[in-house]
Amino acid sequence: MLPCQHPPPPPPVFILLEYFLLCLLCLLCRCCLHAEPGDGVQTWARFSRAPSPEAAGFLYDTFPDGFLWAVGSAAYQTEGGWRQHGKGASIWDTFTHRPAPSLPPFLPHPATGDVAGDSYNHIFRDTEGLRQLGVTHYRFSISWARVLPNGGGVGAGPPNLEGLRYYRRLLERLRELRVEPVVTLYHWDLPQRLQDIYGGWANRTVVDLFRDYAELCFRQFGGQVKYWITIDNPYVVAWHGYSTGRLAPGVRGNKRLGYQVAHNLLLAHAQVWHLYNTSFRSTQGGQVSIALSSHWISPRKMTEHDLKECQKSLDFVLGWFAKPIFIDGDYPQSMKENLSSLLPNFTESEKNFIKGTADFFALSFGPTLSFQLLDPHMKFRQLESPSLRQFLLWRMAGLFQVPPRRDDAKYMYYLKKFIMETLKAIKYDGVEVIGYTVWSLMDGFEWHRGYSIRRGLFYIDFLSHDKKLLPKSSALFYQKLIERNGFPSLPENLPIEGTFPCGFAWGVVDNYIQVDTTPSQFNDPNVYVWDIHQSKKLIRVDGVVTSKRKPHCVDFAAIRLQISLLREIHITHFYFSLKWSQILPLGNQSQVNETILHYYRCFVSELVRVNITPIVALWQPTTEHQGLPFLLAKHGGWENPLIINSFEEYARLCFKELGQYVKFWITMNEPHIQNLTYNAGHNLLKAHAQVWHLYDQNFRRSQKGKISIALQADWIEPACPFSQKDKEVAERVLEFDIGWLAEPIFGTGDYPHVMREWLNQRNNFLLPYFTKSEKKLIQGSFDFLALSHYTTILVDWEKEDPVKYNDYLEVQEMTDSTWLNSPSRVAVVPWGLRKMLNWFKSKYGDIPVYIIANGIDDDPLRTQDKLRTYYIQNYVNEALKAHTLDGVRLCGYFVYSFNDRTAPKFGLYHYAANQFEPKPSMNHYRKIIDNNGFPGPETQRRFCPEEFILCNECSFFQTRKSLLAFIAFLLLAFIATLSLIFYYSRRS
């Protein structure tokens, strides 16, 4: 093995990648091969550290000018015409035609490539697909048995002229389209006669026959082909064709036979390379290599032992073929040490003959090595990983595979992920990749899986006569990608500069404030004696008490601490929820917890005193009794219509006791629609409306406040932007998740039509109906729109993963692996907030909107708090875009959450050992607040006069009367003393 050197000039690397879903990607790079056991250490060490959010997130950039975009196919998978025009049988014809009982268990049912995509009869159709995609290169393979039906050799007969004519026509059509061919000589379909007579690749005679076949191809097609691949994936051919028998020719031999076949494949490749180099290169000017396969492996622990095991795993798969060809003509040392006599030996002349027989490096890469064909023992108990970028940084490249159906969203996102990783390898790591090829052009026969899966960019109905190519979503995605040469940064992706309007509400939210009603020492009527001689403690004197004074808000130390922390953030508003079950333990006013009520009154009055506006929710669902008083929960909770009047009675008490300080009320905070029955949601809406009208009629004039409901509103994005069905699914989910409660209040006064129609179609008539008076009561029962938003969810209409499939709405939840994710796997998608705000505006018009909660969890062990800082920065900027560019009437933004004590991992303050410590994200948010957004050099500065809330009840003088009286007394005594001193000094 040889460390990376830089010979002038370095050979190009033609890289073919293969993901377990078989999306064949061809990457061409200029680099040298890292192969020393220690060479992977730096890569493994670098990626063992968590990247910054910026590096881990989506990279908006383009590939280098002249980047090559391509697609590929293989003869047996797509050509069909297995007996047409003199074609001979191949080992795959025989393998798939065996009677079902003799088939290995890997084939669930007999399936053949007899017809497949019928490419043999549809050259124009296939090349039209290439033209639609706009690719620059097309990789395909020549069927050995089509051009030499018997494989060649003595008595094999002449070449098949019809077969040769087919490939000439294909190459001519590619020339017309200016698409460069990349031709594979052997993609697993050995002529059956060579298997019958010689035992296939186990016999060295086939090595010489392969050379003769290659010479025929070079003479017939070499003038139009500049890139040749001798053999595709020799690991699969040797190991699963002749050792495990999983693939054709299905020989279940021993390990020794597998290694012998690999030995012969290396010699066959070298013979063909030397043939081209000596006889054809000077006239045809092409290049020849072999397409190798590999995976990527990560150590379980960063120990020397695990790192060596990882290197050994790569040696046994990639190094098995790469080291003899690219390094020194011999097998990796780790293989020779572990396999002993099982591994054949090269003579010195053979080593020199094999060494350097490649003009570029072509690699099949994937976590399951060509559709789950990596033997488990070759992982050496380490962790297989799909990280293409790490592999590219290791100076490699590769090949993947994609998809079924026309709306193949899942596979489109796999494709997106690996192309993104390639782009990052170019931009961040300096790897010189010059091209990328997707496999496969069209659906075809998928080897041991038959037709049970589809991996083409184009869909084919195999039962149809004409077998038209129909582009899938992945084809449309790839087409747009080629047009743009990557992911250029569009205007909507760029951050903007600007500020929010004066009076914009900057806040934080806490589910529930810390309630500690323990009386302070100054409110304790007992008398104590200090034992300074023995115990050194205060001892209460029994039977002696002082007169008990009236409690004051300053007695609550917990309030002082929370207020001081809030002031530190520079917020203008603070949002929290009351606990209904604590204020009214029995659910009615027969028992009112005056202590808790007094605490809340003190808290909101202290907020107002320091000029922080409280926003208070009356009810928030919790796991314990749904956040309801026990008796109400016991009698059905929101299922029971009697709870409506109970909620109104509770709200009346809160308005009466706290309304002089609270100017923003939320009736209900984020009702969990997943846990709501339709009947419960019906009662909840009526309860909200009754409380809104209660405030409007009885309290608004005197208290001058506002009231609404807060809904959770995560954005739902169609997985396939080209799919009308996915768009319909996304709209359906939005209506069920948000419109269910929003439409009656902010819209028509009734449930969404989409919701009612969907349920009726499925004979579900459980959604209640509102009376005319109820519609009138509910419609318009808001003063503003309060929404909480955390993430964006992708949805697809076809079932892929039963775990994430909603049978009720017939929707499949998906993920985009290019998105950033929090430790709890919540996606960070800032643009989703802007789309959500615009959706509300388009449906409900120009109403005031408050983003009442927006936040993400982060790893508490990461002191830098980078993800939350990134999250706040970008989500606030998207909110600014919605306000400035889209005209959304945005009035406020609140970060979730205040501290880790009440919302672990979400807080702006870290909590430990009764201490609160500000995180870097708090300081970052404070800076945004101080700037009122993101002012730039050209941003016109607004002068915003500081607003103070006038409150006679909570002014400094009102809340500190006792203290002021005492100070006044001291001042009067001081003046009297000075007067007496002055008087007597004059007399004397």
Instruction: Look at residues 441, 458, 488 and tell me which one is the last residue of a structural domain.
Output: 488
Report whether pLDDT(28) > 80: no
The pLDDT value given to residue 8: 34
Tell me the per-residue pLDDT of 639-674, one tens digit each, with 9 for 90 and over.
999 999 999 999 999 999 999 999 999 999 999 988
Alpha-carbon distances, residue 71 vs 186, 399, 700 (angstroms): 18, 11, 67
Asked if residue 39 has pLDDT above 80, the reply is no
Q: CA geometry: angle at 851 spanning 846 and 852, to 5°?
A: 125
Could you tell me if 91 and 216 lie in one domain?
Answer: yes
Does 974 share its domain with 844?
no
Asked whether residue 678 falls in the same domain as residue 550, the answer is yes
Tokens of 150: 């018997």
- DSSP letter (8 states) at residue 828: E
Stretch among 40-49, 499-508, 698-707 having the lowest mean pLDDT: 40-49
Q: Are 787 and 710 in contact (CB under 8 A)?
A: yes
Rounded average pLDDT over 415-432: 88
Q: Measured between alpha carbons, how far is 210 from 203 in angstroms, rounded to an integer?
A: 12
Sorting pLDDT into bands at 50, 70 and 90, what band is 452?
Answer: low
pLDDT score for 669: 97
Whether residues 446 and 582 share a domain: the answer is no
**Mapping DSSP to helix (H, G, I), strand (E, B) and coil, where does residue 542 land?**
strand
- In a domain, residue 156? The reply is yes
pLDDT of residue 41: 67
Of 203-217, 431-445, 707-721, 881-895, where does mean pLDDT reach its minimum?
431-445
Return d(Cα 553, Cα 192) in angstroms, integer: 93
Q: pLDDT band at 31, cuts 50/70/90?
A: very low
- Tokens representing 754 are 């989409």
Q: Report the number of distinct structural domains present in the chain.
A: 3
CA angle 736, 742, 743 (to 5 degrees): 85
* pLDDT at residue number 862: 61
With CA atoms as reference, report the closest residue to 457 among 489, 486, 481.
Answer: 481
Beta bridge partners of 916: 911
Query: Tell me, what's the pLDDT at 258?
Result: 95
Q: How far is it, in rounded angstroms, from Cα 86 to Cα 146?
A: 7
In a domain, 75, yes or no: yes
Q: Please tell me the distance from the alpha carbon of residue 370 to that of residue 383, in angstroms, as a whole number.
A: 17
Whether residue 449 is contained in a domain is answered as yes
Structure-block tokens of residue 487: 């992911």
Q: What angle do CA 515, 516, 519 make, to 5 degrees?
A: 145
Place of tokens 């709209």: 731
| Percent of the chain with pLDDT strictly greater than 70 | 87
* H-run or E-run covering 126: helix 123-133
CA quadruple 372, 378, 384, 387: dihedral positive or negative? negative
Query: Which has the minimum average pLDDT: 250-264, 275-289, 467-481, 745-759?
Result: 467-481
In-domain check, residue 347: yes
Query: Would you say 793 and 714 are in contact if contact means Cβ atoms under 8 Å apart?
Result: yes
User: Rounded to whole angstroms, how far apart are CA atoms 402 and 412?
Assistant: 7
User: What per-residue confidence (pLDDT) applies to 961?
Assistant: 60
- Which range has highest mean pLDDT (385-394, 431-440, 478-487)? 478-487
Is the predicted pLDDT of residue 428 greater than 70, yes or no? yes
* Cβ partners under 8 Å of residue 352, min gap 6: 329
Contact indicator for 421, 296 with CB cutoff of 8 Å? no
Residue 552's CB: how many other CB atoms inside 10 A?
16
pLDDT digits (tens, 9 = 90+) for 346-379: 999 999 999 999 988 887 765 444 445 677 778 8
pLDDT at position 962 is: 61
Q: So what's the pLDDT on residue 104?
A: 55
Under 8 Å between Cβ of 734 and 809 = no
Query: Do 430 and 563 reside in the same domain of the chain?
Result: no
Q: Per the structure block, which two tokens stand in for 549?
A: 């004074």
- Cα gap 969→866, rounded to integer Å: 54
**Residue 539, burial from CB neighbour count under 10 angstroms (0-12, 13-18, 19+):** exposed
Note whether 297 and 258 are same-domain residues: yes
DSSP secondary structure, 751-794, as one string: --HHHHHHHHHTT---S----HHHHHHHTT--SSEEEE---EEE
What does each C-alpha distance from 542 to 134, 300, 526, 976 come to in angstroms? 94, 66, 8, 40
Token reading at 236? 């699969």
pTM here is 0.74
CA separation for the pair 31, 418 (Å, rounded): 19
Please check the confidence at residue 789 and state whether its pLDDT lies above 50.
yes
CA distance linking residue 222 with residue 622, whole number of Å: 72
pLDDT band at 107 (very low <50, low <70, confident <90, very high): very low
- Same domain for 576 and 447, yes or no, is no
Angle subtended at Cα 674 by Cα 669 and Cα 676, rounded to the nearest 5 degrees: 75
Q: What is the pLDDT of residues 143-160, one digit of tens each?
A: 999 999 999 988 889 999
976 shares its domain with 911 = no
Position 636, amino acid: G
Residue 103 lies in a domain: no
CB 13 within 8 A of CB 326: no
Minimum mean pLDDT range among 85-99, 458-472, 484-498: 458-472
Confidence band (pLDDT; 50, 70, 90) for 928? very high
Closest by Cα among 631, 625, 638 to 584: 631
The CATH number linked to 841 is 3.20.20.80
Give yes or no: residues 423 and 549 share one domain: no
One-letter amino acid identity for 690?
Answer: Q
Report CA torsion sign: 240, 245, 249, 255.
Answer: positive
Mean pLDDT of all residues in 954-973:
65
Ramachandran category for residue 340: left, alpha or beta (phi over 0 → left; psi -120 to 50 → alpha) = left
pLDDT of residue 398: 30
Residue 3 lies in a domain: no
pLDDT, position 813: 94
- H/E stretch holding 508 reads strand 505-510
Summarize pLDDT for 609-641 with one digit per residue, the tens: 999 999 999 999 998 899 999 999 999 999 999
- Quick one: 315 and 385 in the same domain? yes
Shared domain for 545 and 411, answered yes or no, is no
Q: Which residues pair with 849 in a beta bridge?
A: 785, 890
Give the residue from 260, 231, 262, 224 showing the smallest Cα distance to 358: 231
- Give buried/exposed letters for 377-402 (b at 16+ CB in 10 A, else e): ebbbebebbbbbbbbbbbbbbbbbbb
pLDDT digits (tens, 9 = 90+) for 228-283: 999 999 999 999 999 999 999 999 988 999 999 999 999 999 999 999 999 999 99
Mean pLDDT over 769-788 rounds to 97
* Residue 909 in this model has a pLDDT that exceeds 90: yes
In terms of residue numbers, what domain contains 634? 505-934
Between the alpha carbon of residue 475 and those of residues 20, 205, 407, 439, the distances in Å are 19, 43, 10, 11
Integer Cα distance of 777 and 618 in angstroms: 20
By mean pLDDT, which of 265-274, 340-349, 967-976 is the weakest?
967-976
**Mean pLDDT lowest for which of 28-32, 533-537, 717-721, 817-821?**
28-32
Average pLDDT, the chain: 86
Q: How far apart are CA 427 and CA 276, in angstroms?
A: 36
861, part of any domain: yes
Nearest to 211 by CA among 149, 276, 161: 276
Q: CA 772 to CA 778: how far, in whole Å?
A: 10
pLDDT at 56 over 70: yes
Taking each helix axis from N to C end, the angle separating 255-279 and 234-242, rounded to the nearest 10 degrees, works out to: 150
> What pLDDT digit, counting tens, does each position of 754-768 carry?
999 999 988 888 899
Residues contacting residue 140 through CB under 8 Å, at least 6 positions apart: 72, 73, 74, 75, 170, 181, 182, 183, 184
pLDDT of residue 297: 85
Could you tell me the pLDDT band of residue 55, with boundaries at 50, 70 and 90? confident
Q: Which of 435, 296, 269, 280 is nearest to 354 (CA)?
A: 269
> The tokens of 98 are what?
């065996």
Q: What angle do CA 279, 284, 285 make, to 5 degrees?
A: 105
Using a 10 angstrom Cβ sphere, with 0-12 exposed, 13-18 middle and 19 or more buried, the burial of residue 204 is middle
Closest CA to 568 of 576, 560, 558: 560
Q: Tell me the average pLDDT across 40-52.
A: 71
Query: Which residues, in sequence order, are CB contacts of 920 under 8 Å at separation 6+?
Result: 864, 865, 866, 869
The pairing of strands 68-72 and 433-439 is parallel
Tell me the percentage of the chain whose pLDDT exceeds 90: 60
Is 463 a residue whose pLDDT tops 80? no
Q: Which of 434, 458, 488 is the last residue of a domain?
A: 488
Looking at the predicted structure, is the pLDDT value of residue 805 above 70? yes
Distances (CA, A) of 865 to 741, 825, 894, 896, 907: 35, 16, 18, 14, 10
Residue 889 forms part of a structural domain? yes
How confident is the model at residue 216, as a pLDDT?
97
What would the two tokens of residue 762 be?
A: 């499925």
* Confidence label for 64 from pLDDT (cuts 50, 70 and 90): confident
Looking at the structure, tell me whether residues 448 and 525 fall in a common domain.
no
SS3 938: coil
User: What pLDDT shows up at residue 551?
Assistant: 65
Distance, in Å, from the CA atom of 146 to the CA atom of 154, rounded to the nearest integer, reads 18
pLDDT-based confidence at 101, cuts 50/70/90?
low
Rounded CA separation 309/299 (Å): 8
Residue 533's alpha-carbon distances to 418, 529, 530, 983, in angstroms, are 77, 12, 9, 48
